[in-house]
Structure 1
Amino acid sequence: MYNPALRELHRDQLAEVIPLKQETSLLDWLESNNRLIPREILEEENPLGDDVEISELMGVEDNSYEEEEESLA
């Protein structure tokens, strides 16, 4: 099997120091190789519209608790 990235050194030999690259992050590598695809900005649509209140969605009036308190007193 031929793989130029692999090489064999004798056990008693000191290993060579691998030089650090300036672009060490994955994000930098993706940007430098034009492999980073920008995200499309999607606007979230509110299917009910902006004017809908929570109480309208629930179908319950807020004064039901007040009526219970008055009947207990």
Structure 2
Amino acid sequence: MTAVNRRVIMLNPSIRQEPRYEPAAVIPLKKDASIVEWLEKNNRMIPRDKVAEPELTLEEDVELSELMDVDDIGYDDDEDELVLDED
């Protein structure tokens, strides 16, 4: 193998070559690393349309006790009677 074959041409400036068996360098943390801040800085943040939320009256409010079913009181979650069909 010649020296020309060992040389790697990097076309992407964002990529750099690191030695395989050596620890990689730590990428420094940027202070403006927030995606929200980046979107605002580059004018890419699109405001949402305001949606009017319906107001509930007292008649439309449902009590929690009305949603609960009384039949669940005797429910047994034990798997004592579980029979496995073994072939």
TM-score (norm. length: structure 2)? 0.40
Bigger radius of gyration among the two: 1
TM-score (norm. length: structure 1)? 0.46
Higher RCO structure (Cα 8 Å, ≥6 apart): 1
Greater percentage in helix = 1
